[in-house]
């Protein structure tokens, strides 16, 4: 957890990788790492996403690779078995939280309301995903929540992009931001991984400048 947190503090951007071909997933991850983004979230949104996750963990060991869109305990266990080093969920489910904790992995479940946040807080969690960020109140909601839950850090995801990144990172309680804008499907489909590296590098610099 400390290594993950340290990387997010220094480079507070987490790209989402969604692929059906493990080779494409590996090339995308290498492009992101080359651009300075080492914390990668592989979203379990395709039939072959677990194979993509495993390929990345085996072939790009310099990346810290987690699994996102984890909906069930079974998926959580599969993600762990395929090499995930942290777990991200769109919502809050006790079974997924407890399983990740049992294996000693960081777990960032998604919350969107004060009730969900309080429940997560009572599970002992102090780092949470805020999802869908743009629809759930954005930076203003995060400021309101963090004024009550003062020791909680957030990773807003959903609707975050280059134009809104600064607004989120200006909130002291925001640890990092996640987003798919860093892995544009059209560039990846065209095999233009240099474009992915360029986007990653620009996002990393922007985030570091904003954070500093």
Q: Which helix (H) or strand (E) holds 127?
A: strand 127-130
Write down the pLDDT at residue 49.
98
Write down the pLDDT at residue 1.
63
Write down the pLDDT at residue 158.
96
The catalytic residues are 41, 129
**List of domains in the chain:** 2-107+161-211 (3.20.20.70)
Output phi, psi for 174, to 5 deg: -85, 120
pLDDT beneath 50, residues of the chain: none
Cis peptide leading into residue 33 (ω within 30°): no
pLDDT tens for 134-187 read 999 999 999 999 999 999 999 999 999 999 999 999 999 999 999 999 999 999
- pTM for this prediction: 0.96
Burial class (CB in 10 A: 0-12, 13-18, 19+), 114: middle
User: Closest Cα to residue 15, out of 88, 106, 92, 80?
Assistant: 88
């Amino acid at each position: 957890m400390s290594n993950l947190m340290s990387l997010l503090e220094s480079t507070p951007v987490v790209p989402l990788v969604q692929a059906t071909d493990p080779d494409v997933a590996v090339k995308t991850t290498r492009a992101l790492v080359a651009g300075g983004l080492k914390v990668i979230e592989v979203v379990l949104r395709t039939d072959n996403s677990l194979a993509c996750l495993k390929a990345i963990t085996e072939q790009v060991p310099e990346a810290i690779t987690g699994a996102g869109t984890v909906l069930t305990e079974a998926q959580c266990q599969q993600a762990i078995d395929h090499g995930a080093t942290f777990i991200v969920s769109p919502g809050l489910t006790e079974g997924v939280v407890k399983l990740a904790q049992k294996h000693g992995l960081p777990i960032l479940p998604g919350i969107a309301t004060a009730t969900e946040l309080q429940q997560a807080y009572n599970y002992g969690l102090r780092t949470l995903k805020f999802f869908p960020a743009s629809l759930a109140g954005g930076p203003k909601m995060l400021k309101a929540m963090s004024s009550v839950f003062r020791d909680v850090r957030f990773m807003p995801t959903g609707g975050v992009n280059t134009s809104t990144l600064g607004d989120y990172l200006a909130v002291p309680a925001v640890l990092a931001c996640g987003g798919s804008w860093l892995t544009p499907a059209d560039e990846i489909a065209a095999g233009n991984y240099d474009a992915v590296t360029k986007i990653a590098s620009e996002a990393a610099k922007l985030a570091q400048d904003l954070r500093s």
